[in-house]
Amino acid sequence: MRLRLVLGKRGEPFRVPRHYNYPLQSLIYRYLDEHLATQLHDVGFGDGAKRFKFFTFSRLIGDFQQAGDDLVFPKGATLYIASPNMAFLESLLMHLLTIGELTIHNSVIPIFRIEALPMPEYQEEVILRALSPITIRETLQQCDGKRTTYYYAPTEPEFSARIIANLAEKVLIWYGRSVEPGDAFCTPYAVNEAKNFHMANYKGTWVKGWTGLYRFRAPREYFQMALDAGLGERNSGGFGCVEVYTPRP
């Protein structure tokens, strides 16, 4: 399930930092019941190194202009927040309705409307639109012993394989059972490696990711997890939020 937030008032532009992923993530945690926020932030779900927060959010979607280190939205924006965790969504929704605004740095952004969107009907193969950049990485050991982070582009075979493997781990942890992926894949459908490439500064680390459209084929549990928890990594930092794409007639 996901929430759709329509932000801003007509005739009242608002601005946010250009790299707003972390401030927005921090705001989401602040708008949860304290015990839930602590559990998610400090522990998450899973054992050992494989732990997930099981929520994701989109970019601020709307027309904007760059103004130095800020982005200015003159006509408002839309934000999607998704999770399979109903306790998370219910807590967040109650706080959003009570407070009625988002405060990001020095900007107080009114919430014009909130909608709860149901899960789309399952389809074995769909086109997904990335509402925030999808990121998949691997830490590589260099000859000199140093480590470097390599981000896979959508055109590389490892991109699809790692997307599906990541979903398999999420499904196992959330549902408590393994679901074989079969012939699942996530490959670029309409992705321009230059236009759809993004770099975001997240907590001082530059994260690479790609938006665009992707062909996605997977079992029902993977489909639901992709939409509720996101594709790829760093989902709770605002990466990998997707929706089912329906072409306009």
**Residue 56 near residue 82, CB atoms below 8 Å:** yes
Here the tokens at position 121 are: 């009907």
Half-sphere exposure of 177 (CA within 13 A, CB side): 3
Those residues whose C-beta lies under 8 Å from the C-beta of residue 218, and which sit 6 or more positions away, are: 124, 164, 167, 181, 182, 184, 185, 186, 226
Which pLDDT belongs to residue 10?
A: 84
Nearest alpha carbon to residue 55 among 14, 95, 27: 27
Which pLDDT belongs to residue 249?
A: 67
Note the pTM of the prediction, 2 decimals.
Answer: 0.94
Which pLDDT belongs to residue 146?
A: 77
Amino acid at 227: L
Instruction: Render each residue's pLDDT in the chain as its tens digit; 249 residues.
Output: 999 999 998 888 999 999 999 999 999 999 999 999 999 888 888 877 778 999 999 999 999 999 989 999 999 999 999 999 999 999 999 999 999 999 998 889 999 999 999 999 999 999 999 999 999 999 887 777 678 899 999 999 999 999 999 999 999 999 999 999 999 999 999 999 889 999 999 999 999 999 999 999 999 999 999 999 999 999 999 999 999 998 876
Amino acid at 40: L
**Residue 194 near residue 201, CB atoms below 8 Å:** no
Amino acid at 90: E
3-state secondary structure of 28: helix
Q: For residues 207 and 186, what is the distance between their CA atoms, to the nearest angstrom? A: 20
Those residues whose C-beta lies under 8 Å from the C-beta of residue 90, and which sit 6 or more positions away, are: none
Nearest alpha carbon to residue 215 among 178, 177, 186: 186
80-52-29 Cα angle (round to 5): 50
* Cα 2 to the center of its chain, rounded Å: 11
